[in-house]
């Protein structure tokens, strides 16, 4: 056994060889509500509360106590092939920000409903509460690229504060708003670097760009902290990381990311408009298979980009229907 930890409902076990586990027998163990393998972990469903008690006894029995869920994930990741490792790392980035998006979405729905009642508009206290709820529901979407950048750097091992800094640069008010630039309602300033034209446009809605630049910032931060002498590391390492990240954002990562983002959104919209119920049925059928593997969180990247580009998300209703089915 390599590790054991638990989440809210499941005991998660990492074995050196999963083939040694008899899932049929595990399913028949008293109080076990289900047993399966996901993310190279043997996961036993006990339910909230009970799983804590089971973990306390089991971890002492196998001699692996106080292992965090994050440490367990790192242990199980060692067994993954390169493709699984990449998809898993991308999933981890978006899993971290799901609570914020869920909170904003719920608040958005609540304030949308309350706004329809005359009493909410007429009563100053109810109106104030609803206005504050509306404000709270929009915050995450205004800085989503910054949040994604922060989460990506935290996942890939760099200084997450630098992620916030680079994310703020991506949304700097001195840059032309990306949505306004796309609609042609704002003048876009162009600067030249060794003859290379660089458009001074922000990255509002640039979810994939933020993910990519977050990875770059993390790797640059790790590299400069290794090579810069200790005597000047505190000053020069973050300076080099932030400047080079900014340079790459506007010259390489940004343009490539925008192309990928546009391609992802256009393909999703095309499937919705042209394949009709066939495309929907295919997605809903495959989605539950992804859940079993634990890779379904990567869909969050597509959803976030779709929301940023079109203000609509037809993927979530499909997933809801698949779950109900």
Q: Which helix (H) or strand (E) holds 68?
A: none
What is the rounded CA–CA span in Å between residue 77 and residue 13? 13
How far from 222 is each of 92, 164, 219, CA to CA, in Å?
A: 19, 16, 5
What is the rounded CA–CA span in Å between residue 205 and residue 171? 10
Q: Cβ atoms within 10 A of the Cβ of 166, count?
A: 26
What is the rounded CA–CA span in Å between residue 168 and residue 171? 5
| Catalytic (active site) residue 149 | no
- The active-site residue out of 1, 7, 142, 191 is 7
Output the six-digit token pair for 164. Answer: 């916030």
DSSP bridge pairs for 11: 6, 44
What is the rounded CA–CA span in Å between residue 317 and residue 325? 12
Output the six-digit token pair for 69. Answer: 């869920």
What is the rounded CA–CA span in Å between residue 207 and residue 203? 8
Active site residues: 7
């Amino acid at each position: 056994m390599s590790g054991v930890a638990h989440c809210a409902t499941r005991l998660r076990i990492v074995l050196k060889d999963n083939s040694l586990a008899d899932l049929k027998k595990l399913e028949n163990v008293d109080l076990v509500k289900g047993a399966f393998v996901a993310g190279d972990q043997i996961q036993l469903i006990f339910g909230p509360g009970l799983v804590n008690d089971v973990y306390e006894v089991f971890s002492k029995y196998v001699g692996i106590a106080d292992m965090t869920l994050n440490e367990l994930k790192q242990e199980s990741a060692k067994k993954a092939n390169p493709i699984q490792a990449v998809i898993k790392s991308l999933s981890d980035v978006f899993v971290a920000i799901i609570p914020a998006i869920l909170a904003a979405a719920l608040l958005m729905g609540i304030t949308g409903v309350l706004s329809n009642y005359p009493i909410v508009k007429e009563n100053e206290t109810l109106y104030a509460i609803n206005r504050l709820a509306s404000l709270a529901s929009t915050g995450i979407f205004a800085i989503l690229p910054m949040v994604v950048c922060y989460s990506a750097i935290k996942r890939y091992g760099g200084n997450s504060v630098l992620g916030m800094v680079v994310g703020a640069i991506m949304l700097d008010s001195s840059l032309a708003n990306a949505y306004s630039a796309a609609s042609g309602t704002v003048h876009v300033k162009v600067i030249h670097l060794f003859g290379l034209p660089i458009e001074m446009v922000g990255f509002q809605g640039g979810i994939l760009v933020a993910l990519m630049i977050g990875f770059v910032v993390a790797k640059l931060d790790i590299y400069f902290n290794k090579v810069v002498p200790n005597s000047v590391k505190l000053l020069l390492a973050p300076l080099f990381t932030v400047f080079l990240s900014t340079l790459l954002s506007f010259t390489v990562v940004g343009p490539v990311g925008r192309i990928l983002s546009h391609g992802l959104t256009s393909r999703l919209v095309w499937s919705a408009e042209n394949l009709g119920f066939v495309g929907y049925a295919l997605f809903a059928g495959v989605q539950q298979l992804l859940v079993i593997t634990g890779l379904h969180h990567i869909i969050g990247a597509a959803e976030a980009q779709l929301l940023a580009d079109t203000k609509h998300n037809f993927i979530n209703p499909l997933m809801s229907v698949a779950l109900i089915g």
